[in-house]
Structure 1
Amino acid sequence: MRSPKICFTELNQVSSQRLGNFSFLQSQVANWQKLTQIIQSHLPPQGQWQVVYYQNGLLTITGDNQALISQVRYLHNQFIQKFKTIPSLEGLERIQVILKTPDKPTSKKYTRSKTLSNETQQALRQAASLVNDAKLSQALLRLASPDNIKVE
Structure 2
Amino acid sequence: MVLDKLYFLSGGDDVVVKFWDVATESVVLDLMGYKDYMRCGDCSSVSSDLFVTDSYDQTVKVWNVRVKNSRSILEVNHGKPVEDMIYLPSGGLIATTGGNSVKIWDLIGGGRMVHSMESHNETVTSICVGIIKKENCGDESTEDMILSVGLDGYMKVF
TM normalised by structure 2 equals 0.25
Whose relative contact order is higher, 1 or 2, with alpha carbons under 8 Å and at least 6 apart?
1
TM normalised by structure 1 equals 0.25
Question: Normalized per residue, which structure has more strand?
Answer: 2
Question: Normalized per residue, which structure has more helix?
Answer: 1
Which structure would you say has the larger Rg?
1
